[in-house]
Amino acid sequence: MQKESRRNFIKKTVAGLVTLGVVNPLELLAEQRNFNPKNFIGKVLIAKDAKIRDANGKINPTIADKLINDGLKKLIGGKDKKENWASLFNEKDVVGLKLNCLAGRGLSPNAEVVNAIIEGLKSAGVKEDNIIVWERFSRDLQRAGYNININDKGVKYYGNDVAGYDSEPSMNGSIGSCFSKIVSEKCTALINVGILKDHDLSGVSAGMKNFYGAIHNPNKYHDNNCDPYVADVNAHPFIKDKLRLIIIDAIKPQFKGGPGYKPQYTWDYNGIIIGIDPVAVDSVSTDIIEKKRKEKGAPSLKEDNKEPKWLYTAEKKGLGIADLKKIEIIEI
């Protein structure tokens, strides 16, 4: 009989304790990192700088990096970049960055934002080989301008078509899906790297809707404006217990016509939205979209029959705060 490695034994033991309810994954992580995510429920950081794009629309990577790291410092309160990232991640983590690239190069997270996140992870000791930038399909990353890297050294870039899905569906609430092995097996931690845009069915697609890219059958879960399905996908332990950070690229969002890219409905918001509470992040993102729609004379999401009711379902499931009146918005 082959001797089982100590690492696998520990992983199985912890997994067993989690299953039995003896160990709460979030509390375990909080203890390891001296960081309690519960302290950040209902808090959202918005960092903006009109100079993030030059006259030709090119993003300044230095400003993108500064917005993210100044934002994290304001949100988390550590003394420097390394301390703030290390409060969320450590050298043992395998971190998956879930991008939303379905709309192509014009409406996907910008490489400068993604690179700033990668540098932040490295400052916390996460190895490049243990960082996976992923999407539902590799071709989605390619359309957004990213180069696929599967086996070479360094940060990995690929989709579920490479990683594969679990062989058996996993149930949670109203959903039954085979999850990407990126979230079920490969990663210990997730960062949701979304794009701020409206969506013709879910109302808004910023953070939580982005994890439809983690399941094999997202087409099944768009009825009733994706309620309760967005909430149920995000409440699954593969997502809920591994999600540590949400960063929304809101440099040039889209308020109408989504999820496809409609440049006539984009505007220069020049911002990054950061949070640890996924519901609060999406609630604030929805409010930004609603205000721009009103400014442009477009109907509200509710009037357009695509109100994101799943936000309140997610709040009821304990995933975060949906009520804007209860959310602390920090702006820098």
Answer whether residue 4 is part of any domain.
no
The CATH number covering residue 75 comes to: 3.40.50
Element holding 11 (H helix, E strand): helix 6-20
pLDDT at 314 over 80: yes
Q: What is the DSSP code string of 302-314?
A: TTTT---THHHHH
pLDDT at 32 over 60: no
Q: In 79-98, which positions are buried (b, 16+ CB within 10 angstroms) versus exposed (e)? A: eebeebbbbbbbeebbbbbb
Answer whether residue 177 is part of any domain.
yes
Q: Tell which residue, 30, 46, 121, 62, has the closest CA to residue 291.
A: 46
Mean pLDDT of the chain: 91
**Beta-bridge partners for 165:** 180
pLDDT at 12 over 60: no
Element holding 144 (H helix, E strand): none
Only one residue has tokens 């994101």, namely 308
- Flag the least confident range among 49-58, 135-144, 276-285: 49-58
Instruction: Grade residue 13 by pLDDT with cuts at 50, 70 and 90.
Output: very low
Number of domains composing the chain: 1
Only one residue has tokens 């205000």, namely 291
pLDDT tens-digit map of 61-77: 999 999 999 999 999 99
pLDDT at 98 over 80: yes
* Mean pLDDT, range 150-179, rounded to an integer: 96
Domain that holds residue 284: 42-331
Q: How far apart are CA 107 and CA 202, in angstroms?
A: 17
pLDDT at 158 over 80: yes
Instruction: Grade residue 328 by pLDDT with cuts at 50, 70 and 90.
Output: very high
Q: What is the DSSP code string of 64-130?
A: HHHHHHHHHHHHH--SSHHHHHHTT--TT--EEEEE--TT-GGGS--HHHHHHHHHHHHHTT--GGG
CB 266 within 8 A of CB 253: yes
Answer whether residue 13 is part of any domain.
no
Q: In 142-170, which positions are buried (b, 16+ CB within 10 angstroms) versus exposed (e)? A: bbbebeeeeeeeebbbbbbebbebbeeee
* Mean pLDDT, range 39-56, rounded to an integer: 94
209: three-class secondary structure by DSSP: helix
Examine residue 228 and say whether the peptide bond preceding it is cis (omega within 30 degrees of 0): yes
Q: How far apart are CA 31 and CA 40, in angstroms?
A: 16
Answer whether residue 246 is part of any domain.
yes
Answer whether residue 1 is part of any domain.
no
pLDDT at 1 over 50: no
pLDDT of residue 35: 67
Instruction: Grade residue 21 by pLDDT with cuts at 50, 70 and 90.
Output: very low
Q: How far apart are CA 164 and CA 28, in angstroms?
A: 28
pLDDT of residue 34: 57
Answer whether residue 280 is part of any domain.
yes
Answer whether residue 314 is part of any domain.
yes
Q: How far apart are CA 230 and CA 313, in angstroms?
A: 9
Answer whether residue 327 is part of any domain.
yes
pTM of the model: 0.90
Instruction: Grade residue 14 by pLDDT with cuts at 50, 70 and 90.
Output: very low
